[in-house]
Structure 1
Amino acid sequence: MNWNRYIKDYQSYLRIERGLSKNTIENYGFDIERLCLFLETNQIDVSPVKITDETVQDFIYTVSKEVNPRSQARIISGLKSFFNYLVFEDYRNDNPLELIESPKTGRKLPDTLVVEEIDALIEAIDLSTNEGERNRAMLETLYGCGLRVSELISLKISDLFFEEGFIKITGKGNKERFVPIGRLTQKYIELYQKEIRPNVNVKKGCEDTLFLNRRGNQLTRAMVFTIIKDLASKIGLKKNISPHTLRHSFATHLLENGADLRSIQLMLGHESITTTEIYVHLDRRFLKEIMNSFHPRR
């Protein structure tokens, strides 16, 4: 099998032509690698140009027994994109996934935290350590600005425009947006910048990176995930949370306090308002309040 050349060309296309982020490109690559592993396990020696509909269908059938419908839909979508690229480049005449439908996944609403739970998480941070001050600044930024974890760890000092009350975020597809930042979040970032970060031996290439680990390198997504999981365990929180929970809570709390979806969409960096609606669930009580407040015949 000679898949590597096609995969590298495809990833270059995603980066240069479509302007996708490194994380998104890696996720597309994982889907293709999973198909390659299936072929290797079943001793099927075939290139992406020659692979048949039947072989791909066998792979999807195998995957359907191993992952949930949402993951299955993502794999199908990723492979469709790869084979569409091969068709576009005239490597093959058809897409072997053309007739394969993704499973219906519905809308899964992620867990959200109430303000008291977020306060409890932050109060559980051990501020006697340098990492504690950094972690408080990070959690305040995640929740205060509604960032993705990838946006948090790549945040630059040069992206901070505190006098104007904004930070510049580079989101999915390397698209930039300006997000308002509150005074409390600014306060904790400035405290970390002035008191903690100068004591870190910053590694080359990370001079402008805001949040650093003890060795002076950029934090990983896994590290932020672990920090939040440990704090949740410390306060006995039973909800299944992650860094994304703070982003979702940010949007939910804004909506509950009267913000409109369009404004939330811009702050979250969603291309489509439909995506924002998935994050921001509306309960019946809140809908009733909207009706009573704004409808002319209330």
Structure 2
Amino acid sequence: MFISAKKLDGLSSITLDNYLMELSMFADIVKKKAEDIATADVRMYLSQDGTLKMSTIRKKLSILKSFFSWLVSEEYIKREPTAKLKAPKDEYRLPKAPSIEELEILREACETIRQRAFLEVLYATGCRLSEVHGLNKADINQQNMSTLVIGKGDKQREVYFSIRAMYHLDKYLKERKDDCEVLMITERKPYRRFSKRGIQREIGIITQRAGLQDKVSPHVFKHTFATLTLNNGAELVSIQELLGHSSPDTTLKYAKITHERKREQHKRYLIQ
């Protein structure tokens, strides 16, 4: 019933699956009726595995809080056992985004037209891997150099390609000799949608060939997009919309500008 309620709230199928899996694990370990569960039971469950990262514990607690809060609101239980529990401090660190110079090195390391198209699309749109992975050829608006993607919470938004990304994407599509409607396909027959893991592997090959010390993944291009555009003077609200963030606080993580940019901003905006 809880999962059904959350589905009506507009949560994505992936999020609902995560909720169901987490609550099933909790039920298997605690083995108590909902009304009998105490704060100590939840604390025990969260601390049983000493190898879990703080970010994982935060996610687990968030799901449990959502579940028990719903039980109280629906009057299935009288008190919420997670109310006294505070989420551990966020240890999340943004991966280092490649510099402009490193981005050029990655471009030169591409050996195939497909690799270059993948790289340019991921960087120019600032999309998550899952958002790009689900695109079809018909989704691309050639005239506006844009496309619509489905992000977290099944929310749709418009993202844009650069001239360079559009050029390499067109080059990739014209090279193909198939009738597959999918935007990113496998190299060999039967042609089908290229898997997320496959795209990750292609980016890994490019990174290895580029000889960069820091690991570069499809997700890192999202950070690169955000960091470089903010450093170049883009408005925070615009980047928030382009990235599909529901809160500006999430976007603010990327707003670490260079010393040169800070100096230029001070000089430009300070009233003498």
1:167-206 aligned within 5 A: 167-196=147-176, 198-199=177-178, 202=180
Q: Is the 8 A contact 1:137 1:188 kept in 2?
A: yes
Q: How far, CA to CA, are the matches of 1:220 and 1:88 in structure 2?
A: 41
Aligned position for 2:96: 111
**Is the counterpart of residue 100 in structure 1 residue 92 in structure 2?**
no
1:10 aligns with 2:2: yes
In structure 2, what is the Cα distance between the partners aligned to 1:70 and 1:284? 30
2:15 match: 24
Q: Structure 1 residues 102 and 166 mapped into 2: Cα distance closer, same or farther (>3 Å)? A: same
2 CA distance for matches of 1:185 and 1:135? 12
- TM value normalised by structure 1: 0.81
- Structure 2 letter corresponding to 1:32: L
Q: Which amino acid aligns with 1:51?
A: I
Q: Who is 1:6 aligned against?
A: none
Secondary structure of the equivalent of 2:48?
A: helix
Q: Secondary structure at the match of 1:199?
A: coil
- Structural mapping, 1:120-269, within 5 Å: 120-127=105-112, 133-196=113-176, 198-199=177-178, 202=180, 207=181, 209-213=182-186, 214=188, 215-269=190-244
Distance of 1:150 and 1:185 partners within structure 2: 18
Moved more, 137-146 or 221-230: 221-230
Q: Compared with structure 1, are the counterparts of its residues 106 and 295 closer, same or farther at alpha carbon in structure 2 (3 Å cutoff)?
A: farther
Q: Tell me the SS of whatever aligns to 1:279.
A: coil
Check conservation: 1:252, 1:281, Cα contact below 8 A.
Answer: yes
Letter matched to residue 119 of structure 2: L
Q: Distance in 1 between matches of 2:197 and 2:74?
A: 36
Query: How far does residue 211 in structure 1 lie from its aligned partner after superposition?
Result: 1.4
Distance 1:98 1:193 in 2: 54
**Alignment check: 8 A CA contact 1:248 1:280 kept:** no
Question: Alpha carbons of 1:241 and 1:56: their partners in 2 closer, same or farther (altered >3 Å)?
Answer: same
Deviation at residue 106 of structure 1 after TM alignment:
5.2
- Contact 2:139–2:148 at 8 Å: present in 1 too? yes
Give 1:149 deviation, angstroms. 0.8
**Structure 2 CA distance for aligned equivalents of residues 50 and 157 of structure 1:** 53
- Mean Cα deviation higher: 277-286 or 180-189: 277-286
Q: Deviations over 1:235-283 (max 9, x none)?
A: 2222133211101101111122221212211211112211111133234
Q: Distance in 1 between matches of 2:144 and 2:103?
A: 26
TM-score for the superposition, normalised by structure 2: 0.88
Secondary structure, aligned partner of 1:177? strand
CA distance 1:293–1:34, change in 2 (3 Å): farther
Deviation at 1:30, TM superposition (A): 4.0
What is the aligned length? 270
1:54 corresponds, among 25, 30, 40, to 40
Aligned-residue offset at 1:199: 2.5
Residues 117, 165 of structure 2: 8 Å contact kept: yes
The answer as to whether partners of 1:109 and 1:281 remain within 8 angstroms in 2 is no
- What stretches of structure 2 of length at least 5 have no aligned partner? none
Root-mean-square deviation (CA, aligned residues, Å) is 2.3
Return the offset for 1:21: 2.2
Question: Which residue of structure 1 lines up, in the alignment, with residue 76 of structure 2?
Answer: 91
Deviations 1:165-197 (A, max 9, x none): 32212211121111222121112222222222x
Contact 1:151 1:171 in 2 (8 A): yes
Q: Work out the CA distance in 2 between the residues paired with 1:116 and 1:26.
A: 40
Contact 2:123–2:221 (CA<8 Å) still a contact in 1? yes
How high is the sequence identity, in percent, across the aligned residues?
Answer: 30
Deviation per CA, 1:114-157, whole angstroms, max 9, x where unpaired? 12222222332332xxxxx3332121111011111111101232
